[in-house]
Amino acid sequence: MVKNRRYEDKEGSIFGVRHLQCFLLFCGLSVSYALRVNLSVAIVAMTDKAATNPNFDEFDWTEKTKSLVLSSFFWGYVVTQVPAGHLAHKFGGKLMLLMGNFVCSLLTVLTPICARLGDWQLVCALRVIMGLSQGFLFPSTHTILSKWAPVEERGTLGTYSYSGAQFGTVVMLATSGIMASSSMGWPSIFYISGGVGLVWSVAFFIWGASSPSECRLISAEEKKLIETSIGSDSANEHSSTPTKTPWLKFFTSVPFLVLALTHCTHNWGFWTLLTEIPSYMKNILNMDIKSNALLSALPYAAMFLMCFVFSTIQAQLSKRKCIPLSVSRKLFNSIGHWIPMITLICLGYVSANNTNMAIVLLTITVGINGATYLGFQVNHIDLSPNFAGILMGITNCAANMMGIIAPLIVGLIVTNEKDPDQWRIIFFIAAGFYFVGNLLFVVFGKTEVQPWNDAQPLHSTAKRNSTFVESQH
């Protein structure tokens, strides 16, 4: 480990260019999630102008139409996950992330105009394209992190970056109602969030970098620090000589298959909460959680804050070398899945006259979920730094299918929305997925770099440190 003369801590700098990259990723994820959830709030004002500023257009969209428009984003989002990982592997994470967020931001700014010109059909088409562009988000972010984060900082920097998703969600949910009621009306939700996204695109174009080797701002000392930790060959930008992607080995690798299943079970619980809890609150607890923007944002604010709590704990454990990396991954994943499993079961037994307890349980369920950022969410980089973006694309594609299947299962089981017994079954199913997914991860999950990670051109003589590699082509 090389000691940087500007940094006093031999374990790493207090603030370096790698932290700047993570801050840019944090902001990028914040913007992306704000663009993702803005329509769910804006559509209320778009279809009922009396609810906010009555001086703007109102659209006569049925509930079926609104559901169609809201879900259209994920049609595109699922499609580009795997291609995004491959393109990020080939061309670098910066270009793919920059293009994806720029296109999404630009289309967001155009949404009010398109709504007036082409009604819901054109808005739906825009959301599909936005989903296609945001499909590059997680594979590209994983690609960049795998090149910038030293092994000992992997969980912390990854958590800081991905906590932007919760921050963007909280800010958007908490401010959309204010914007819709302002003199600029509901179009301001799209203009402001899309405009911020365009500003981020400029900033990321100037200061962002796919790897230390292509960054002009980084010092020789910090670059050496990163390369020493993760392997100098791995820290460099994608090679001009392409490597062959070992697709077959991905799907015959037990640790990776377990990781994919864990990701799917996680998303089942996440999407069950995100899509069905408002309906449960309204029909069983006789309250509409969507009527209170701050209340809607509360669970995600808790998750955002808990990300920093968990990452601080993990950083201290790592610094003191208290537990091995594999134990750390499984410990935090167990916290993030099995505590929500318990609170979900409890939520199914909360009576209609105890809404405060329901809110507390919901907040704990979502908030504690943040521990998974130190668990399975960074395990792709553990298994294969060179193909982490592709692995994330594969698992995220499969996991987001749960966002389509879970609501359908709810529709089959909950035939009477006011029957608490039927809702209890839904919570039990989600809890069961959390239990099984984490159990598989604890028993079969690995943190060692897999042999197929080192797929290299035949003429390459470069050798890797298979223990400390932390990169992504």
Structure tokens at 150: 């030293």
pLDDT of residue 275: 67
pLDDT of residue 468: 29
Q: By the 8 A CB rule, do 39 and 176 touch?
A: no
Spatial separation of the C-alpha atoms in residues 204 and 155, rounded to whole Å: 22
pLDDT of residue 200: 98
| Helix-helix angle 187-207:93-134, to 10 degrees | 160
Spatial separation of the C-alpha atoms in residues 388 and 85, rounded to whole Å: 8
pLDDT of residue 408: 77
Ramachandran quadrant class, 144 (left: phi over 0; alpha: psi -120 to 50; beta: rest): alpha
Domain residue ranges in the chain = 16-211, 246-450
Distance, first Cα to last Cα, the chain: 23
Angle, CA of 194, 195 and 201, to the nearest 5°: 90
Spatial separation of the C-alpha atoms in residues 97 and 91, rounded to whole Å: 11
Tokens 């298979």, located at residue: 466
- DSSP label at residue 62: -
Residues with Cβ within 8 Å of residue 37, at least 6 apart in sequence: 168, 169, 172, 173
Sequence letter at residue 254: V
Each residue's pLDDT expressed in tens, for the chain with a length of 473 residues: 333 333 334 444 568 899 999 999 999 999 999 998 888 778 878 887 776 777 888 898 887 788 788 888 888 998 999 899 889 988 999 999 999 999 999 999 999 999 999 999 999 999 999 999 999 999 999 999 989 988 778 888 988 999 998 899 889 888 887 888 888 889 999 999 999 999 999 999 999 999 998 898 899 889 888 888 776 545 554 444 446 889 999 999 999 999 999 999 999 988 787 767 767 777 777 765 555 566 777 888 899 999 999 999 988 888 888 889 899 999 999 999 999 999 999 988 888 778 888 889 989 999 999 999 999 998 999 999 889 999 999 999 999 888 778 877 887 888 887 888 888 999 999 999 999 999 999 999 999 999 998 865 434 433 333 332 333 33
Neighbours of 169 (CB within 10 A): 24
Please give the CATH architecture assigned to the domain spanning 246-450: Up-down Bundle (1.20)
How many residues are listed for the chain in this entry?
A: 473
214 burial (CB, 10 Å; 0-12 / 13-18 / 19+) is middle
| Helix-helix angle 164-181:17-47, to 10 degrees | 40
Handedness of CA 10, 15, 16, 18 (dihedral sign): positive
Q: Distance of alpha carbon 80 from its chain centroid, rounded?
A: 15
Q: What are phi and psi of 129, to 5 degrees?
A: -65, -40
pLDDT of residue 87: 92
pTM: 0.80
Spatial separation of the C-alpha atoms in residues 82 and 393, rounded to whole Å: 4
Return the CATH superfamily for domain 16-211.
MFS general substrate transporter like domains (1.20.1250.20)
Q: Distance of alpha carbon 305 from its chain centroid, rounded?
A: 15
Residues with Cβ within 8 Å of residue 255, at least 6 apart in sequence: 383, 444, 445, 446, 450
> Does the fold of domain 246-450 match that of domain 16-211?
yes
